[in-house]
């Protein structure tokens, strides 16, 4: 069981499924959306994700068709993204978790778009896109 929240804690959520995988996405959209070199996300099953508090604060932005980036309308914390063509899955921003996480698989995606000033210096597998 995992719990998480936004920065202002107006939104709180629970995820009761497993989190086995975490990726760092280096695409330029994720850089813009986060203001950082990458975002750390985990694919989660929508059926096990529940907003416990603050649903009225949820806002979304669509930089690309079919993909919503969901965030807190008060503090701006990005929470997850969701694709219209894959409603069974969300990509959770793992930085919003309040509970510890120990995924069995980690990797980096969209490495050709990485920020020029950021050096990939770990042993995580690197992919042009996301695997699978």
pLDDT digits (tens, 9 = 90+) for 64-109: 889 999 999 999 999 999 999 999 999 999 999 999 999 999 989 8
Q: Is residue 86 part of a domain?
A: yes
Segment (H or E) for 33: helix 28-34
Q: Which residues constitute the domain of residue 86? A: 2-113
The residue among 128 and 75 whose pLDDT is bigger is 75
Q: What mean pLDDT do residues 112-128 have?
A: 86
> Confidence class of residue 131 from pLDDT cuts 50, 70 and 90?
low
Residue 125: the pLDDT is 79
| DSSP secondary structure code for residue 19 in this structure | -
Whole-model pTM: value is 0.88
- Residue 63 placed within a domain: yes
In the prediction, which pLDDT does 121 show?
A: 81
Cα separation, 99 vs 6, whole angstroms: 13
Q: How many domains does the chain have?
A: 1
37 falls within a domain? yes
- CATH code: domain of residue 40: 2.170.150.70
Flag whether 98 is in a domain. Answer: yes
């Amino acid at each position: 069981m995992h719990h998480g929240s936004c920065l202002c804690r107006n939104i709180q959520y629970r995820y009761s499924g497993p989190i086995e995988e975490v990726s760092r996405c280096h695409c330029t959209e994720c850089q813009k959306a986060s203001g950082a070199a990458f975002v750390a996300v985990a694919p989660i099953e929508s059926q096990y994700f529940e907003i416990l508090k603050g649903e009225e604060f949820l806002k979304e932005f669509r930089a690309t068709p079919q993909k919503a980036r969901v965030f807190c309308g008060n503090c701006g914390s990005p929470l997850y993204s969701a694709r219209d063509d894959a409603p069974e899955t969300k990509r959770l921003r793992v930085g919003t978790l309040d509970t510890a996480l120990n995924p069995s698989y980690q990797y980096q995606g969209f490495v050709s778009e990485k920020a020029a000033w950021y050096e990939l210096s770990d042993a995580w597998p690197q992919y042009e896109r996301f695997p699978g």
